[in-house]
Amino acid sequence: MSSNAVQIIAQQSRAASRELATVSASRRNLALAKMADALESVKQQVLEVNGLEIIKARDEGQTDAMVKRLTIDDKTFAYMLSRLKKVAQLPDPLNRILAGHSNPAGLRVYKKSVPLGVIGIIYESRPNVTSDAAGVCIKSGNAVILRGGSEALQTNAILTDAMVAGALAAGLPPHAIQIIRTPDREAVGELLQMDDYIDVLIPRGGKGLIERIAKGTRIPVIKHYDGICHLYIAADADPARALALAVNSKCQSVQVCNALETLLVDKQCAEQLLPPLQAAFSQHGIELRGCEQTQKLLTDISPATEDDWHTEYLAPILSLKIVDGIQQAIEHINHYGSGHTDGIVTQSLSLARQFEQQVDSASVMINASTRLSGGGDYGLGAVVGISTDKLHVRGPVGPDELTTYKWVAHGDGHLRD
Q: Report the interface residues with its own copies, using CB under 8 A.
A: 18, 21-22, 99, 101, 103, 107, 109, 111, 114, 116-117, 199-200, 220, 222, 238, 241, 244-245, 248, 252, 334, 352, 356-358, 360-369, 371-373, 377-379, 389-392, 394-396, 400, 404-416
User: Pairing state of beta strands 177-179 and 260-266?
Assistant: unpaired
Residue with Cβ nearer its own copies (148 or 396): 396
State the SS3 of 38-87. HHHHCHHHHHHHHHHHHHHHHHCCCCHHHHHHHCCCHHHHHHHHHHHHHH
Q: How far is the CB of 208 from its own copies (least distance, A)?
A: 16
- CA torsion 303→306→311→315, rounded to 10°? -10
Which CB sits closer to its own copies, 38 or 364?
Answer: 364
User: Closest CB to its own copies among 186 and 360?
Assistant: 360
Task: Tell me which residue of 10, 25, 35 sits closest to 131, measured CA to CA.
Answer: 35
CB of 365 to its own copies, least distance (A): 5
Contact 148, 127 (CB under 8 A): yes
Q: Between residues 2 and 102, which has the closer beta carbon with respect to its own copies?
A: 102
Rounded-to-integer distance, Cα 320 and Cα 267, Å: 12
Three-class secondary structure of residue 388 per DSSP: coil
Whichever of 117 and 227 has its CB closer to its own copies, that residue is 117
- Cα-Cα-Cα-Cα dihedral sign, residues 289, 323, 244, 278: positive
Rounded least distance, CB 28 to its own copies, Å: 14
Q: How far is the CB of 315 from its own copies (least distance, A)?
A: 18
Nearer to its own copies, 78 or 409 (CB): 409
CB of 259 to its own copies, least distance (A): 10
Q: How far is the CB of 82 from its own copies (least distance, A)?
A: 14
Residue by residue, DSSP assigns 236-284 as T--HHHHHHHHHHHHHS-SSSTTSEEEEEEEHHHHHHHHHHHHHHHHHT
C-beta of 38 vs 344, nearer to its own copies? 344
Nearest distance in Å: CB 266, its own copies: 18
CA distance 165 to 104: 51
Buried b (16+ CB within 10 A) or exposed e, 330-360: bebbeebbbbbbbbbbbeeeebbebbeeebe
Provide, rounded to whole angstroms, the least separation between the CB of residue 262 and its own copies: 18
Between 45 and 252, CB nearer to its own copies: 252
